[in-house]
């Protein structure tokens, strides 16, 4: 079983142990993803692009960023679970579709 | 090698083949994630929670949603790549941290 | 009558003429704001901060940005309308609250 | 002078008194708007559409929502200031453009 499938089942178990199923409609999970993505982008808003480099982030800031990234992925895994979407499949399908839109330069 | 690591290398190769490295600063990738999460939430905005159920979505709508989910994950993989973040690790660290904040009810 | 009140009534009339009232719950309008803010941030994602300066934007890009800004405000006006929130009042209340959190430096 | 112009100058004065001008590039302000919109949508994520009605929100929740709405508008006013965009003008231009896309039903 794949790594994403493992993570999907772990996030599902976490939600089920808390009776969160009734909150986790696709609509609500999409809102949760947008909310967490908003927190993630807020971590970077006052940094220059150079200051956002991994080497220049403080350990505390890096940890905050990592947790926001985790939150986005947790809710994306939950949405994949309730909609029965294989995330690896759709990533590869989207990359394939983008091949034609954006031809490689080398 | 894990599935997320495979996907990380595939999205990296896609970006490198197009010379997108200079655009893919952590700051810019966080913006891309927020942008794609905005498109994802927009897909659901006028639906009731019930209408957002997977069984009730049209095939066209489902496909649009899947592609927005893919876009969020593609940029999250890219951000994990440039910041050297292991997404599976941080998801599990966040779930562990949440165990204490939200005790299971059963 | 104030300018924001005028705009609020204009956006309400626009929605009423299309029978959009049933879609414009506070929850859905918050989603619409997040969706439009995502489109706005996407306009800037690959620009350097310097390239995002008003003088350096192409007329076409400026127009796209202005329309995304308009969309954010239109849905914010709609949310203020359905929740009966005076936007000018809350902006001033928030600025006053921020006075204490962020003391002026000069 | 209009109400939005007043608010624009108040938010500008607030930023200038804190030397925030160098942070307030259009790119960064777009990120701030997306971040605040993410916080706003997060306030509603677990509510049903019915629970999001103004009459059913607790006073504390309503106040939190109002402050997130204020934050979105504050950064939108700042973006309008640095890009020299008249928000009332663009709202009306967008409504006029939408007239053709979405014909009124009555």
* pLDDT tens column, D26-39: 999 999 999 999 99
Q: Which two tokens stand for residue B33?
A: 């994630």
In the DSSP assignment, the letter for residue A47 is S
Rg from Cα positions in chain D: 17
Q: Are B44 and C31 within 8 A, CB to CB?
A: yes
Three-state secondary structure call for residue B104 = coil
Q: What is the pLDDT of residue D106?
A: 77
Q: Are A70 and B80 within 8 A, CB to CB?
A: no
Looking at the complex, does the CB of residue A38 fall below 8 Å from at least one CB of chain C? yes
Looking at the complex, does the CB of residue D103 fall below 8 Å from at least one CB of chain B? no
Query: In angstroms, rounded to a whole number, what is the distance separating the alpha carbons of residues C54 and C94?
Result: 27
User: Looking at chain C, how many residues does it have?
Assistant: 106
**A33, A75 Cβ separation under 8 angstroms:** yes
Query: In angstroms, rounded to a whole number, what is the distance separating the alpha carbons of residues C49 and C68?
Result: 18
Residue D1 has pLDDT above 80, yes or no: no
Domain D3-101 falls in which CATH fold?
A: Helix Hairpins (1.10.287)
Q: What is the pLDDT of residue C11?
A: 98
Helical pair A3-16 and A59-83, crossing angle rounded to 10 deg: 90
- A31: closest chain C residue by CA: C31
Looking at the complex, does the CB of residue D67 fall below 8 Å from at least one CB of chain C? yes
Chain A CB contacts of B25 below 8 Å: 49-50, 52-53
Looking at the complex, does the CB of residue C38 fall below 8 Å from at least one CB of chain A? yes
Of residues A30, A43, A88, nearest to B44 (C-beta): A30
Q: Are B46 and C36 within 8 A, CB to CB?
A: no
Q: Which two tokens stand for residue D95?
A: 């409504």
Which chains have 3 or more CB–CB distances shorter than 8 Å to chain A? B, C, D
Looking at the complex, does the CB of residue B45 fall below 8 Å from at least one CB of chain D? no
User: Band of the pLDDT at A1, cuts 50, 70, 90?
Assistant: low
Q: What is the pLDDT of residue A70?
A: 98
* pLDDT tens column, A53-91: 999 999 999 999 999 999 999 999 999 999 999 999 999
* pLDDT tens column, A37-57: 999 999 999 999 999 999 999
**A78, B91 Cβ separation under 8 angstroms:** no
* pTM given for the model: 0.98
Query: In angstroms, rounded to a whole number, what is the distance separating the alpha carbons of residues B1 and B27?
Result: 28
Give the 3-state secondary structure of C28-92. HHHHHHHHHHHHHHHHHCCCCCCCCCHHHCCHHHHHHHHHHHHHHHHHHHHHHHHHCCCHHHHHH
């Amino acid at each position: 079983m794949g790594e994403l499938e493992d993570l999907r089942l772990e996030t599902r178990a976490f939600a089920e142990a808390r009776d969160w199923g009734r909150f986790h409609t696709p609509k609500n999970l999409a809102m949760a993803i947008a909310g967490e993505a908003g927190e993630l982008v807020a971590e970077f808003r006052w940094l220059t692009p150079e200051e956002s480099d991994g080497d220049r982030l403080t350990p505390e800031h890096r940890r905050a960023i990592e947790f926001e990234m985790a939150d986005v992925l947790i809710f994306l895994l939950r949405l994949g679970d309730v909609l029965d979407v294989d995330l690896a499949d759709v990533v590869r399908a989207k990359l394939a579709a983008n091949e034609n839109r954006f031809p490689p330069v080398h």
